[in-house]
Structure 1
Amino acid sequence: MAELNSSSPNAGGKHKRKRMSTRVDLTAMVDLAFLLITFFIMTTTLAKSKAMDLAMPVDGPNDFVGASRTLTVLLGKNNQAMYFLGELKNPIIAPSVTGFSANGLRKAIIETNKKVHDKTGKSMIVLIKPGDKSQYSSLVGTLDEMAITGIQQYAIVNIEPGDVEVLKQKGI
């Protein structure tokens, strides 16, 4: 609480102005501040991190998947990607270079998935192969496209020397 103290007059008999000293007790205000800080810390929700679930294959016998169901996406430099259906030596859909726009990789995945499903009756499998000069954002963008297009089966695999040569020939 605040106190007002008056000083006593001087012994010399002169009248000096009375000086009032004030003293404010801030204990209650500090208590209130700590209560408010505690309240806001307890009631605040922290931002939840967003993560994509990734299932890794187990070791053991693997079922053979036909090349007619396998779309390969090669990630190159300058945020460009190349895709083809089947094997590189004998592709069902020839290698094509595209970007990460809605009319780029997403459109290619949707169209290829429809062709594979109409032909085989099964879902398509996508192999994502990041190159040495590809950026991490290209890989994240490709994984986002898998989620957007609803592709359930995809894998991130190491790029092969033949794939690297094709990327060099295409300039990506």
Structure 2
Amino acid sequence: MSTIEISGNGRSSGLGNVRSNRLSTAVDMTPMVDLGFLLITFFMLATTLSSPTAMSVFLPKKTDDGTMPIKASNVLTIFLGDNDDICYLDGVAATDDQALSALKTTHSGFELRNIIFAAQRRVNSIQRNTSESAEAFTVVIKPTAGSSYKNMVDAMDEMAITRTSRYALVDELTPAESKLLANRQNINRGIPTKTGHFK
């Protein structure tokens, strides 16, 4: 609390001369310091500390030969490439003759999300016509040597955003996929492939 000290006796000296009282203030900072520590303590106790976030990944059971057969028409294959580029095959296997013309390029984020949604709608329409299992849609994510860790995390985030229940992260390319991506790079550089394809 602040106190006011009054100095002087307040008596008159001489002929009507009145000496004015001198006032001095002294501020006690103890309550303000107490209030500051109370606020710090309150915010420390009321604030929730950031907890580490993690994504739950459930691995499927392997068959006897270590592979799980999946129909190519139900698969969206995503290849993570250089410079945040993403190539994908929607419902087409890399060994198919139409794979080179079906291989498209996109980017992560909103564009990749729309492609996943479109592939889900395509597979769902096939399921309605053929009465297949409702969980037949599968996404296969394949990072290449030029991709970064951020590309893989972004692709995994899209699996959670689009609520894709079946997806696989594969770190190896098949010979057909390696050849397909190499032909795609040659097309981008303007080099004709053996089949004569250009961009």
Instruction: Give the match for residue 44 of structure 1.
Output: 47
TM-score by length of 2: 0.62
Instruction: Give the match for residue 12 of structure 1.
Output: none
Instruction: Give the match for residue 5 of structure 2.
Output: 4
Q: Which amino acid aligns with 1:155?
A: A
Unaligned runs of 5+ in 2: 9-19, 189-199
The structure with higher relative contact order (CA 8 Å, sep 6+) is 1
Larger relative strand fraction = 1
- Counterpart CA distance in 1 for 2:69 and 2:49 is 44
RMSD (Å), alpha carbons: 3.6
Is 1:34 aligned with 2:37? yes
Is 1:98 aligned with 2:105? yes
- Counterpart CA distance in 1 for 2:112 and 2:50 is 29
* 1:141-160 alignment runs, 5 A limit: 141-160=154-173
Deviation at 1:98, TM superposition (A): 2.8
Unaligned runs of 5+ in 1: 8-16
Q: Which amino acid aligns with 1:151?
A: T
TM-score by length of 1: 0.69
Instruction: Give the match for residue 144 of structure 2.
Output: 131
Deviation at 1:151, TM superposition (A): 2.0
Question: Match of 2:103, SS?
Answer: strand
> 1:98-143 CA deviation, whole Å, 9 max, x = no partner?
3141685335422443355344612122211011112334323322
Question: Match of 1:99, SS?
Answer: strand
Instruction: Give the match for residue 13 of structure 2.
Output: none
- Counterpart CA distance in 2 for 1:120 and 1:169 is 37
The answer to whether the 8 A contact 1:110-1:149 is kept is no
- Counterpart CA distance in 1 for 2:88 and 2:47 is 46
Is 1:66 aligned with 2:67? no
How many residues get paired? 165
